[in-house]
């Protein structure tokens, strides 16, 4: 049985990331994941390389990147650099795209496009020749065996990406909310696909992005968790995503999010769509409250068979950028001190 790994998702912020990464490591977290969304936060790879110099054991990766805004050779080069700078602690968290695509007028990638992109990135990282149309392409500065393999961690919101993760990923991280029935639903799809292909479950680290705010004041925790609850609910209703499989508590909201999500205020506390997200939904879809409640709810999810958890938290500081991230880390101290040790 794998030891449980607990990571934190935090937007990178120039002048803050490296210092906060050191704090996150000291608090006992195992990984730091930075979103790759160019219009909303600084470049993650440079910030993660700076974080590598300030940490010794923290895994460092994207949470998540996408196949749309960077050529596969560019992503591979950035990952290889981070893997070398960190001494083998890099990870490639990747999904179909969302805010990174929407803010430049692009659609999300299809699962087929995502799969092809991942195969290209892996080829480049191995030092292989990668065919780009009629052109043979290779990372000339990379030699086979130069550094450990960079694990591919596939973020999954729907059945198609979950099945693909079962086929090709090193790690899978569900982004389906923190309700036990949602995690169970995703695990069932994953297990069914593993059974079809004969892949050993032990060859894949299975985890989830967990919306979680730990605070002695439960109402304050719910208020801080509302933004992240709305954002993850939006993932279920992304354009062209099927919603028939969604439970009643989520289906109606996901349908509303298709047309009513305020992408201009993505990951912000003042998005117009947050008026659709009531306290009862936040309490069901996320884990928000005092340490005892967070521990109990999180243990329920882990008992379902999760190997890792990526915490999506809330910050009491809305702006400016940087101070918001510092607020996120400060807010996570309650979790780190009162919940994290009991999960070990």
Report the distance separating Cα 248 and Cα 126, nearest Å.
45
C-alpha closest to that of 27 among 330, 343, 302? 330
- For 222, phi and psi rounded to 5 degrees? -65, -45
The encoded tokens of residue 190 equal: 């994953």
C-alpha closest to that of 292 among 255, 336, 338? 338
E-strand stretches of 121-219: 130-132, 135-137, 152-156, 171-174, 205-214
Residues of the chain with pLDDT under 50: none
Residue 240 is predicted with a pLDDT of 57
* CATH T-level fold of 5-343: TIM Barrel (3.20.20)
Q: List all residues 6 or more positions away from 300 whose beta carbon is below 8 Å from its beta carbon.
A: 180
DSSP letter string, 95-117:
-S-SHHHHTTT-PPPPHHHHHHH
C-alpha closest to that of 57 among 16, 26, 101? 26
C-alpha closest to that of 155 among 48, 35, 265, 4? 35
| pLDDT per position as a tens digit, 122-166 | 999 999 999 999 999 999 999 888 999 999 999 999 999 999 999
Report the distance separating Cα 327 and Cα 203, nearest Å.
36
Report the distance separating Cα 172 and Cα 212, nearest Å.
19
Residue 242 is predicted with a pLDDT of 62
Domain spans of the chain?
5-343
């Amino acid at each position: 049985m794998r030891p449980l790994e607990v990571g934190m998702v935090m937007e990178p912020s120039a002048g803050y990331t490296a210092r906060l990464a050191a704090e996150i490591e000291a608090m006992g977290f195992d990984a730091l994941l930075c979103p790759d969304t160019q219009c909303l936060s600084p470049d993650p790879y440079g910030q993660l390389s700076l974080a590598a110099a300030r940490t010794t054991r923290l895994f460092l990766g994207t949470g998540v990147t996408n196949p749309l805004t960077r050529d596969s050779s560019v992503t591979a080069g950035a990952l290889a650099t981070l893997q070398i700078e960190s001494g083998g602690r890099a990870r490639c968290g990747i999904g179909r795209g969302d805010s990174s695509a929407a803010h430049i007028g692009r659609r999300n990638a299809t699962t087929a496009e995502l799969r092809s992109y991942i195969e290209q990135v892996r080829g480049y990282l191995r030092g292989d020749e990668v065919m780009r149309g009629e052109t043979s392409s290779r990372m000339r500065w990379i030699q086979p065996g130069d550094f450990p393999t960079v694990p591919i961690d596939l973020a999954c919101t729907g059945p198609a990406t979950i099945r693909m993760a079962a086929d090709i990923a090193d790690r899978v991280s569900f982004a389906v909310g923190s309700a036990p029935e949602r995690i169970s639903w995703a695990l069932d799809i994953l297990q069914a696909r593993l059974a079809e292909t004969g892949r050993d479950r032990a060859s894949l680290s299975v985890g989830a992005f967990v919306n979680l705010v730990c605070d002695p004041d439960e109402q304050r925790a719910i208020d801080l968790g509302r933004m992240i609850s709305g954002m993850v609910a939006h993932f279920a209703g992304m354009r062209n995503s099927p919603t028939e499989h969604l439970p009643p508590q989520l289906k109606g909201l996901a349908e509303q999010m298709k047309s009513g999500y305020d992408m201009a205020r993505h990951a912000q506390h003042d998005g117009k769509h947050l008026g659709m997200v009531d306290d009862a939904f936040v309490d069901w879809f996320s884990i928000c409250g005092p340490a005892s409640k967070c521990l109990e709810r999180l243990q329920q999810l882990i008992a379902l068979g999760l190997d890792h958890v990526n915490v999506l938290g809330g910050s009491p500081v809305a702006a400016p950028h940087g101070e918001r991230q510092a607020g996120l880390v400060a807010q996570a101290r309650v979790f780190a001190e009162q919940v994290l040790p009991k999960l070990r």
